[in-house]
Chain A
């Protein structure tokens, strides 16, 4: 099946620093990649949708200058949390989709971000 990886799996950083999270589709070229945020015991909230080579589409309420998304290739998307603050602490999950495979999304294992 289609495999999506995320790196790092866990990161702890100081307030004010920036953190980059990578999302890779390992055995397929993703048409579209999605970034979600999940608070403890809550559902996934879509943050943004990105296609290779084009600007990401952010959901309402998500600051594009704070959550920078780069989708440089068909297998790699990165999310950079800039000037992180404790309220940014969360579980960030990416997913990838290939149109030819249908509407199913393939999820990465997630990244636990803790901002001190």
Chain B
């Protein structure tokens, strides 16, 4: 069953603008991860935030986590055309067998040059 729900489902912005994607989940988590997928390809891990963390940065990426609201956001600053891809949040829940992830539906980001 799917855990995360991202919004928006699709986002179109101009190069240089910031892109914000949100993710909500239902159960308690150990950590939440964001992945990127280019069309027809596998996923690439972007960033992980643990349940006891509230914010994390990695380059142009900024992730926040609000466990009270069971939500997370991914901010990509100064977007580039190469950032065009689908972005998924995935939750690693307490008690999940062997660390399996539950993926959200994803946000399709289009960055126009």
Known contacts A91-B40, A103-B31, A104-B33, A44 near B103 by CB under 8 Å:
yes
Contact for A109 among B42, B45, B88, B104, CB less than 8 A: B42
In contact, A43 and B99 (Cβ under 8 angstroms): no
| Interface of A: prevailing SS | strand
A29 vs B48: C-alpha distance when bound (angstroms): 22
Q: How large is the interface on B (under 10, 10 to 19, 20 to 34, 35 or more residues)?
A: 20 to 34
Within residues 102 to 116 of chain A, which ones have a CB less than 8 A from any CB in chain B? 102-110, 112
In contact, A107 and B105 (Cβ under 8 angstroms): no
User: Is B28's beta carbon under 8 Å from chain A?
Assistant: no
User: Is B85's beta carbon under 8 Å from chain A?
Assistant: no
Render B1-37 as a binary contact track against A, CB cut-off 8 A, 1 for contact: 0100000000000000000000000000011010100
In contact, B104 and A43 (Cβ under 8 angstroms): yes
In angstroms, how far is the closest chain A Cβ from the Cβ of B109?
14
Q: How many residues of A contact B (CB 8 A)?
A: 29
In contact, B43 and A93 (Cβ under 8 angstroms): yes
- CB neighbours (8 Å) of A57 from chain B are 97-98
- CB neighbours (8 Å) of B60 from chain A are none
- CB neighbours (8 Å) of B31 from chain A are 103
User: Is B61's beta carbon under 8 Å from chain A?
Assistant: no
* A residues whose Cβ falls under 8 Å from a Cβ of B: 4, 6, 32, 34, 36, 41-46, 49, 51, 57, 91, 93, 95, 97, 99, 102-110, 112
* B residues whose Cβ falls under 8 Å from a Cβ of A: 2, 30-31, 33, 35, 40-45, 48, 88, 92, 97-106, 108
